[in-house]
Structure 1
Amino acid sequence: MKRVQVLCNENRSYRAFMSSPREYEVMEGKSTLSLSLNQHTCLCNVWQLTGIPCRHAMRAILHEGLDPQSFVHEWYLVEKYKLAYGHSIKPIPDQDRWPATEHPTILPPVIKRGVGRPCRNRKRSDDEERKGTRSKTIKCGKYEDFGHNKATCKGGAT
């Protein structure tokens, strides 16, 4: 219920336009998203994934003057929660009482340490971008010459 309240307040800058009965186009800045109140779908897919209307759908629901909580999926009802967790869960016995199996015991892999100090930089994959490297050319800040810097400058090109 709190999430629905927050969504009702978040979408004040959106504008909803009815394209057909219970079908809307909602403008969010320069982008336009289409949604269906009949099928409980929105182009952003948040409504389909979570079961809670997204902010675009909430704008259309409020535009039509309907109750937003009636569009929340039944998963979130208290009755469904009680049905899911109403049965007792039997405890698992201690590991000593587990039945024996004929399958071999799976052991963790052997850790193989390399020789020398470990590498400080992580190994990057082939498709990953490499770290940038500095140029080898030094430029003087005083005379704008290459080959030395401002601290070692002796008054001109070296």
Structure 2
Amino acid sequence: MGDMELPEYAAKILQTRSDESRLCYATPCGGDEFEVRDQHVHFPIKLNTGTCGCGKWQHLGIPCKHVLRVIYHQRLQPAVFVSPCFKGKAYKLTYEEHMHPMPDPSQWPSLNLPNILAPLVKRFAG
């Protein structure tokens, strides 16, 4: 996986949202600001701050269908606007260090602590 390549999970989400973006219409408002109409709802978008009125882009880090409509309108590459945490470089950094093995539970130290039991459940009528 290349440093800028997207994993399968992010690529599938991007493709699904890309298909959904075909029903949206983008209108430039000046600078990097756009308004996207999705049926009867209008969403403000700012590319340089990474915000969309629906909030999906800010929360997940993968452009929503409204942002994708703007990206395609501007003839840009969608993968550039995906959060770095979804790209190959972050994946490689996650597994760069070796993993430390854990001993089997039979080898764990014995502690003289009381057993914790599940709470009692009271069943009510109905």
- Specify the TM-score bucket, using the shorter chain as the normaliser: 0.7 to 0.9
The question of 1:26 aligning with 2:51 is answered: no
Work out which of the residue numbers 73, 76, 86 in structure 1 matches 2:96: 86
Describe the shift of the 1:62–1:97 C-alpha distance in structure 2 as closer, same or farther (beyond 3 A). same
Looking at structure 2, the residues matched to 57 and 99 of structure 1 have their Cα atoms a distance apart, in angstroms, of: 54
RMSD: 2.3
Shift of residue 103 of structure 1?
Answer: 4.5
Describe the shift of the 1:103–1:69 C-alpha distance in structure 2 as closer, same or farther (beyond 3 A). same
Higher RCO structure (Cα 8 Å, ≥6 apart): 2
Q: Which residue of 1 aligns with 2:77?
A: 67
Looking at structure 1, the residues matched to 92 and 18 of structure 2 have their Cα atoms a distance apart, in angstroms, of: 27
- Unaligned 5+ segments in structure 1 are 122-158
Of Structure 1 and Structure 2, which has the larger fraction of its residues in strand?
2
Looking at structure 2, the residues matched to 45 and 102 of structure 1 have their Cα atoms a distance apart, in angstroms, of: 50
AA of the residue aligned to 2:29:
S
3-state SS of paired residue (1:105): coil
Q: Which residue of 1 aligns with 2:3?
A: none
> What TM-score results when the alignment is normalised by the length of structure 1?
0.63
Q: Which residue of 2 aligns with 1:42?
A: 52
Of Structure 1 and Structure 2, which has the larger fraction of its residues in helix?
2
Looking at structure 2, the residues matched to 36 and 65 of structure 1 have their Cα atoms a distance apart, in angstroms, of: 16
- Unaligned 5+ segments in structure 2 are 1-10
Looking at structure 2, the residues matched to 110 and 29 of structure 1 have their Cα atoms a distance apart, in angstroms, of: 51
Shift of residue 15 of structure 1?
Answer: 0.9
AA of the residue aligned to 1:58:
L
